[in-house]
Amino acid sequence: MTLILLILGGTQEASQLATKAANLPDIKVKLSLAGRTRQAVATKNARVGGFGGIAGLTQYLQAEKIDLLIDATHPFATQISHNAAIAANKLGLPRLMLVRSQWKPVTGDDWIEVENIAAASAILPSFAQRVFLTIGRQDLTAFAQVENIWFLMRAIENPSSDILLPKGLLLLERGPFDINLEKQLLEKYNIDTLVSKNSGGDATYPKIIAARDNGVKVVMIKPPMLPQGQRVEDVEAALQWLKRF
Ligand SMILES: NC(=O)c1ccc[n+]([C@@H]2O[C@H](COP(=O)([O-])OP(=O)(O)OC[C@H]3O[C@@H](n4cnc5c(N)ncnc54)[C@H](OP(=O)(O)O)[C@@H]3O)[C@@H](O)[C@H]2O)c1
């Protein structure tokens, strides 16, 4: 019997899993993307856009006769993960979370770990002057009122025009990034502090290495709480989970 798998995506791992799971016998894959980027919108065979909260997601799972759910969203995308947990529990659907392991500080790292974006924004004025802000475009506004700091910002796409931006320069780039180019960027803009989400994974880790090598302080935002449930850290482990059904 063919089982229908819904993968909640928006990460490289989700896309890799979708490709690999589609090659498993008796599994039909549906990949869902929020549609925040143009690349997401252009992804072949993906459904794009929100479901309409828990009720909308529950309805979708029923209407599409989904048998299995893998939440492979970004560790900071908490709303969709909570919605998925509630909807899957309600319907008794097996659900797995694919969550990368967090980065851990190593010798030479100069990290200040904070609980959330607001705490990162609040702590900066006590020591920083030129900050590299690599938190994506949706949270930039939290830094707009910070005074006496110049911000180098990096995002995949432009924020919407009604968003208030911090004072500085916005670079539009998509990872993966190269260590040497990250170092050059820190030097070119005379950066003293990097602000990053602790997103884990390899694609954006070079900025952390560059900060370590260049003696740049890192304000590291801890990942939010995820719902309870079974978790794996990589695509291979998620495929093993699938093979059990
Ligand atoms: N947050 C980050 O730092 C970050 C970084 C890289 C990639 N991403 C990716 O970008 C997407 C949006 O992130 P976010 O932080 O805005 O998420 P979020 O706060 O958890 O979700 C907000 C709303 O977006 C919709 N949504 C999110 N992911 C979806 C998916 N895979 N398929 C369909 N609808 C989805 C849902 O709308 P409804 O309630 O209407 O269903 C959800 O309630 C996620 O898929 C995530 O994997 C996020």
What's the pLDDT at 242? 97
- Terminus-to-terminus CA distance in the chain, angstroms? 10
What's the pLDDT at 236? 98
User: Coil, strand, or helix at residue 154?
Assistant: strand
Residue 69 contacts residue 8 (beta carbons within 8 Å): yes
What's the pLDDT at 213? 98
What's the pLDDT at 163? 87
H or E, element range at 160: none
What's the pLDDT at 71? 98
Residue 186: partners with Cβ closer than 8 Å, 6 or more residues away: 132, 194, 210, 211, 214, 216
What's the pLDDT at 161? 87
What's the pLDDT at 115? 98
Residue ranges covered by each domain of the chain: 3-101+225-243, 111-221
What's the pLDDT at 11? 93
CA separation for the pair 217, 228 (Å, rounded)? 33
Residue 238 contacts residue 70 (beta carbons within 8 Å): yes
The residue contributing the CA closest to ligand 1 atom 6 is: 74
CA separation for the pair 48, 33 (Å, rounded)? 5
Closest listed residue to residue 98, CA positions, set 214, 240, 245 = 240
3-101+225-243 architecture in CATH?
A: 3-Layer(aba) Sandwich (3.40)
Fold match between domain 3-101+225-243 and domain 111-221: yes
Closest listed residue to residue 93, CA positions, set 240, 230, 236, 239 = 230
Count H helices, E strands: the chain? 8, 12
CA separation for the pair 181, 173 (Å, rounded)? 12
What's the pLDDT at 37? 83
Sheet bearing 130-134, strands edge to edge: 111-114, 217-221, 193-197, 130-134, 150-155, 168-172
Question: Which atom of ligand 1 is the closest one to the Cα of 57?
Answer: 41
Q: How many CB atoms lie within 10 A of CB 237?
A: 13
What spacing in Å lies between the alpha carbon of 126 and ligand 1's midpoint? Answer: 32
What spacing in Å lies between the alpha carbon of 80 and ligand 1's midpoint? Answer: 6
Specify the pTM: 0.94
Which parts of the chain sit beneath pLDDT 50? none
What spacing in Å lies between the alpha carbon of 130 and ligand 1's midpoint? Answer: 30
Q: Residues with Cβ within 6 A of ligand 1?
A: 8-11, 32-34, 36, 50-53, 56-57, 73-74, 76-80, 83, 136, 197
What's the pLDDT at 133? 98
What spacing in Å lies between the alpha carbon of 191 and ligand 1's midpoint? Answer: 30
CATH topology of domain 111-221: Rossmann fold (3.40.50)
What's the pLDDT at 120? 98
Residue 19 in tokens = 């490709």
